[in-house]
Structures are given as C-alpha cells and as structure tokens.
Amino acid sequence: MINTYHTSMAPPPIPPRMNRYPFLIPAPEPSRGYSKALLRFLAAVVLLHFLLSLGGFVYLLLVPRKGTNSTSIASKKGNNPSDEGKVAFHTSERERGSDRAMARMTVMKHSNQTESGYLQWNMAHSSLRDIYYYKKSWLTVELAGDYFISSRVTFSKGKPEQPLISWVKLRKYKEAKEEDVMKAYCSLGSRSQVCTASQGEMITLEKGNQLSVWVEDLSQVDYDVKATTFGMHRL
C-alpha cells in the first residue's frame, strides 16, 4: 500500500512580488492656480502681521509722551519728584476753580443820591458767573454753598468825629426781610480825607439768597472803580 502522506517532492516556489503595495495610486501634482492662491494668502497674512506690529510699536512709542507733561514741568521746577504731585494738584485746583460761582462788582453813582441806601452795581466794570444781577443793587445766588464775601467801601467825605459804616445785607428771597450779615467801620480822622471800611467773611448761602451793600450816606462814598468794590466767590 502506497503512503500518500509522505513524498519527496518539494512544494512549488512562491513567485516574486513585483510591487509590495500595488494598491497605492500616486497623487496628482497640485495645479498652478492653487499654488498662486496659497502664495497670495500667505503674503496677505505676512503683510497683516507686519502692519499690526508696526501699529503696536507706534502706540507704545507715543503713549508715554502724553503723560510726560507734568513730569517735564516738575523737572523744570527743580528736579524734585515731589514737585510733580504739587503741579498736578494746582492744575486740578485751577480747573475746578474755573467753574466756581463768582462776582467781582464795582459801584456807580445814583442818579438821585439820598442820605442812606444801597450801593448800585456798575455792570460795565463788573463780572459775574452763576450769580445774577437784580434791580441794580442786589446779587442773586444760583448755586448753594459756602461763599467768601468781601466788601471794600471807601469814603471821601464826612465828619472826623463820626465813624463811617457799611453793611452787607442778606435776604433769603426777593420779598423776604433783610438782615445784616457783615459790618465795617472807618474814620476819616483830623488829617486824612479818605478812609476805607473793609470786611471779609465766609457765609453759607442757599439758592435764591440775595446780597447787597448799604451805607448811611451815599454822598460820602468814593465811586472810583478801584476804591469801592464787592466780591463773592464760591468755595
């Protein structure tokens, strides 16, 4: 009986493989139009990055210069670091002071001078801000607050033995009863023919309050614009 499970014949050889990955297909080369579009996009990105960098550099270069004004002023004052704060403080005070209510008044002669009465304001040589002129002799407050009131009345006539007096009068509103809030005296003396009654005080005023100056004899007042004045400044 022949054994068919054992033979001396060798198995046939495996044929050589011509290509290890025969299923791969080489990709086609990109078209020229696609390459140009890609180059343009990259150029635009580079240009945008350059412009942003340039803008940032200019911003960083210019911004510090805006804050060097007070420093440069302080260096001119004496190169003291503490001067910078002082300069900034005074600047802010001037800015705030420019918005404060104020009045600088001079007086004019009455058309008919009486023995006593209120001084009348000479608006041609006076200035007002947030304070209103009312019926020749009164000033009306628009903004409530603390005011520094100053009055200077110069007298050029009178009896040496009698002191001359000026009052600053206040009324709460137009029809209210007036009250004395300031009073000053001066005396001509035996040799001097001129004297000045000066006064200054801080007064708290409300909106609508009115102030005026009253003297016993209007004919004795020196009406020069530099001799007799009245002022009020909101603090």
Type of residue numbered 115: E
Which 3 state secondary structure label does DSSP give 219? Answer: helix
CATH number where 187 lies: 2.60.120.40
**Rounded to two decimals, what is the model's pTM?**
0.56
Q: Would 33 be classed as within a structural domain?
A: no
User: Which of 113, 140, 61, 106 is closest to 220 using CA atoms?
Assistant: 113
Query: 194-226 pLDDT, tens per residue?
Result: 899 999 999 999 999 999 999 988 888 999 988
pLDDT at position 95: 43
Domain extent at residue 166: 102-234
Q: Would 195 be classed as within a structural domain?
A: yes
pLDDT at position 231: 94
Alpha-carbon span 226 to 97, nearest angstrom:
24
Low-confidence ranges of the chain (pLDDT < 70): 1-34, 63-99, 111-114, 158, 160, 190
Number of domains in the chain: 1
Q: Would 66 be classed as within a structural domain?
A: no
